[in-house]
Structure 1
Amino acid sequence: MANGTITIIPKKITGGVEDLVMLPRGEFEEMQERLRQVPVLKRYEIVHHQKKQYQVPVYQLIGKAASRLDRRVKAALREFKAGRTKPLKSLAELR
């Protein structure tokens, strides 16, 4: 966070269930912007591979991260359709 003062007001003063936190608007807006760019865990999918079952997390990307990934996927699909890719049997072939 930026250089600002954060004030915490205890539950007994606010009468609420949780403590109340006050922070400068600039810091609040920075925090909101960072949270908009964080991937959101949507669910877990069950994947079967070699007679084993795995739980794989599925994330939803938001904002710039989603746009960057979309561009990379489109570029990769163009390369694949143009025949500029080759199938690999293992990652050792990349060396």
Structure 2
Amino acid sequence: MRTSFKKAVAVIAAVGAVSVGGASVASASTVGQIAVPDVVGYSAPVAVDVLENAGFTSVRVAGPYGDSAETTVTRTSVADDAVVAENTPITIFVDPW
């Protein structure tokens, strides 16, 4: 009787592990992959709009002048043309800092 109980617990644990893993795979497959547009030279507000319009959901500007149209994007934390998940955090670096 103990052996059959252990087998039952092992089967339930295996089924649970497959279920959890399957949910993770299903969740990961729903995140879209997007190419990062080149926003170097844009103002910070325009760069944010371009990245968000491309589908990115986690865009931020480094520095105190993130809302200023007087800024110029010098680089981003993810290289342009890289293909990444839409929820990948992207930081925009601007001049003046």
TM-score above 0.5: no
Give the TM-score taking structure 2 as reference length.
0.30
